[in-house]
A and B are shown apart, each in its own frame.
Chain A
Amino acid sequence: MTNDSDSDGGSRTGRGRGRGVGLAAVRGLALALVSLPGAVLCFVLSAVSIALIPIGIGIVTTPYVLTGVRMFANGRRVLAAEWGGVRIAPSYRPLPADANPWARTFGMLGDPATWRDLRWLPVDMTAGFVTALLPAALLLYPLEGLAIAVGLWRVLPDGYWYGFVRVTDQASALGAGALALVVLLFAHFFAARVLHGHFLLTRAVLGAPDRELAERVRVLTETRRDAVDTSAAELRRIERDLHDGAQARLVAVGMDLGTIEALLDKDPAKAKELIAQARRTSVEALSELRELVRGIHPPVLAERGLGDAVRALALRLPVATEVTVDLPGRAQAPVESAAYFAVSEVLTNAVKHSGADRIWVDLHHADGHLRAAVTDNGRGGAVIGAGSGLAGVERRLGTFDGVLAVSSPAGGPTMVTVEIPCALS
């Protein structure tokens, strides 16, 4: 959030402040006069429109009404920025332009920002109205007091109360005048601040919750850094593997072929031997490339999707592994890949450390989450960290807002659950 500029209520010269008071009073008065009927109208229309959704009319009207509410709220956002220096960022979710009324209505109702708007309306018509009107009142009320002091008291009914002063004669009228000066002094210092307070109040109710946002930013920064680190490390590993492996072997094959060419006539037996060697080297290069590819993006994953990729993985394990898959569609490629490598790492872990002789993998999608549960009947005691590789899995899942949960009492069984929010196509 930007710092709130305190230009109207802060360190100005006396004259500037005097003008600021007048300005605040005029603005506040205008605001109060517009906001009260506006807020009431918006609120009533919204309530009626939403109430009419069950009989269908509301589905047509609600998008228009809510759009009106947004315009009203946006108007206040603009004033808050221009008059109070208070920035309230709108956080409405975008809707598809060609959405039908049904999708628009429920899309808007599903947006937390809509509900913040609707919550703000009653606040605005009460506390908001008062805080907007107060600067004007602080300025106009002293004028009445001064008028009383200079003679207006004569025409007022006997025992008129100005504030807490009962006006009966010139002396008490002067008391009223004194009180008016005090109020004026108060207005001088506080009128602009009260209006500023109005905008702060608006931000508190209308603005997106700051704390959650800050936390989210923190998490995103962290996971993004992890993602960048991980992918950089992966690229380095791939480069090294290619350089020391397949690439070097292909160079060897090329050299062998050159030698074979030279030997072909002179020493056919030796040439034949080298041909066999060149073939062996190329087979090795291929198998290295195959392993490398498997580590980057397993071919079965590309060909068949997550379910079969995990099934194929299970078939390679030395421990009997049962795989149940209930996925009605495919997740996006990066999510599939992350889930695959997470499950792969968890399985490797189970095979290496648990001493289990049976493993169960369950893959399913529910409530917008892809869940993978790996259970083994081993000795338990698995923890995240402790060099188990699970910490790495957790870090990599973070990029996808995925989580890892481990339940592993001593003596087993161990159950590791991986959960990634995603939609299936």
Chain B
Amino acid sequence: MRVVLAEDLFLLRDGLVRLLEAHGFEIAAAVESGPELTRALAEQEPDVAVVDVRLPPTHTDEGLQCALQARRRRPGLPVLVLSQHVEQLYARELLTGGGTSRPGGAGSGAGGVGYLLKDRVFDAEQFVDAVRRVAAGGTVMDPQVIQQLLARQSGPDRPLTRLTPRELEVLELMAQGRTNAAIAARLVVTERAIAKHTANIFAKLGLEVSDDDNRRVLAVLAYLDHGR
């Protein structure tokens, strides 16, 4: 699997290259600035791009903008965005492709998007798993984004209060982009039990059940982001 990596700090770039190579990824290019990233994405046609939000020369959100641009040129290009801080604002833009359409809406081109804190690199297995899921067209959201969303939606007389604590736990993991199997493994229960929980959650929140994993994640994220 070929990866284009953009990270301006040498130590982190070097570490990420070694980490990804150790897990069988091929580093097509490891660049350190926005313009270089744009060029690399156009020339290398990678399976997935791992991009730091803040890149030279502006040291603003150059990486995010490059990623969004690349996805507009090549819809569905898998991009995993890394940052020292996570913002719902950026998550929303990634999910909607920088436009205003709702995530999961028709033709939004969502999927193959990831947004993680750099800290997640500490857990190599989980990080590599996230890269693979994004490359496969899945959606990966940092637990912090999900927690912020849940906090906003958990006020009194919100539908979320109708969920059991276990269902909330499942919802949180689901919103991070995990499959039923992964959630089951994480909570040490059977996949069937998780399937039952998800069915309950969808019923209680009034969401349409979908077999497609990624559509399911997007529906949940849209629900959490905008409420009903």
Which residues on A are within 8 Å of B, measured CB to CB?
Answer: 279, 282-283, 286-287, 290, 293-294, 299-300, 302-304, 308, 311-312, 315-318
A303's contact among B61, B88, B123, by CB below 8 Å, is which?
B61
Distance, CA A318 to CA B59, complexed state (A): 30
B159 to chain A, nearest CB (A): 15
- B85 and A311 contacting across the interface, CB-CB below 8 Å: no
Q: Kindly report which residue of chain B lies nearest to residue A311, judged by CB atoms.
A: B89
Contacts of A287 in B (CB 8 A): 119
A315's contact among B83, B84, B88, B118, by CB below 8 Å, is which?
B88
- A299 and B84 contacting across the interface, CB-CB below 8 Å: yes
Distance, CA A290 to CA B84, complexed state (A): 7
Given contacts A279-B122, A290-B84, contact A312 B89 (CB under 8 A): yes
Distance, CA A316 to CA B92, complexed state (A): 13
B11: interface (CB < 8 Å): no
Total cross-chain contacts (CB, 8 A):
47
Which residues on B are within 8 Å of A, measured CB to CB?
Answer: 53-54, 59-61, 83-85, 87-90, 118-119, 122-123, 148, 151-152, 155
- B89 and A303 contacting across the interface, CB-CB below 8 Å: no
What would 8 more interface pairs be, CB under 8 Å, given A283-B119, A293-B84? A282-B122, A283-B122, A293-B85, A299-B84, A300-B87, A303-B61, A315-B88, A318-B155
Q: Kindly report which residue of chain B lies nearest to residue A357, judged by CB atoms.
A: B155
- A303 and B119 contacting across the interface, CB-CB below 8 Å: no
Show 9 residue pairs from A and B whose CB-CB distance is below 8 angstroms, ordered by the A residue.
Answer: A279-B122, A282-B122, A286-B119, A299-B83, A303-B54, A303-B60, A315-B89, A316-B88, A318-B155
A13 to chain B, nearest CB (A): 74
Contacts of B148 in A (CB 8 A): 315-316
Contacts of A294 in B (CB 8 A): 85
Distance, CA A317 to CA B88, complexed state (A): 11
- B85 and A302 contacting across the interface, CB-CB below 8 Å: no
A423 to chain B, nearest CB (A): 21
Contacts of B155 in A (CB 8 A): 318
Contacts of A312 in B (CB 8 A): 87-90
Q: Kindly report which residue of chain A lies nearest to residue B83, judged by CB atoms.
A: A299
- A300 and B84 contacting across the interface, CB-CB below 8 Å: no
A290's contact among B85, B88, B151, by CB below 8 Å, is which?
B85
Distance, CA A318 to CA B151, complexed state (A): 7
Distance, CA A308 to CA B53, complexed state (A): 15
Distance, CA A294 to CA B87, complexed state (A): 12
| Nearest 3 interchain pairs by C-beta | A315-B88, A303-B61, A312-B89
A103 to chain B, nearest CB (A): 31
Distance, CA A59 to CA B119, complexed state (A): 63
B67 to chain A, nearest CB (A): 14
B192 to chain A, nearest CB (A): 31
Q: Kindly report which residue of chain B lies nearest to residue A321, judged by CB atoms.
A: B152
B53's contact among A283, A303, A318, by CB below 8 Å, is which?
A303
Contacts of A303 in B (CB 8 A): 53-54, 60-61
Contacts of A290 in B (CB 8 A): 84-85
A49 to chain B, nearest CB (A): 47
Distance, CA A317 to CA B197, complexed state (A): 29
Contacts of B119 in A (CB 8 A): 283, 286-287
Distance, CA A197 to CA B72, complexed state (A): 77
Given contacts A283-B119, A283-B122, A304-B60, contact A318 B152 (CB under 8 A): yes
- B88 and A304 contacting across the interface, CB-CB below 8 Å: no
Contacts of A279 in B (CB 8 A): 122-123
Distance, CA A283 to CA B90, complexed state (A): 22
Contacts of B84 in A (CB 8 A): 290, 293, 299
- A299 and B85 contacting across the interface, CB-CB below 8 Å: yes
Contacts of A304 in B (CB 8 A): 60-61, 89
B142 to chain A, nearest CB (A): 12
Distance, CA A302 to CA B53, complexed state (A): 12
Distance, CA A294 to CA B148, complexed state (A): 16
- B89 and A300 contacting across the interface, CB-CB below 8 Å: yes
Distance, CA A303 to CA B148, complexed state (A): 20
Q: Kindly report which residue of chain A lies nearest to residue B151, judged by CB atoms.
A: A318
Distance, CA A311 to CA B83, complexed state (A): 18
Contacts of B61 in A (CB 8 A): 303-304
Contacts of A302 in B (CB 8 A): 59-60
Q: Kindly report which residue of chain A lies nearest to residue B227, judged by CB atoms.
A: A320
- A308 and B152 contacting across the interface, CB-CB below 8 Å: no
Contacts of B85 in A (CB 8 A): 290, 293-294, 299-300
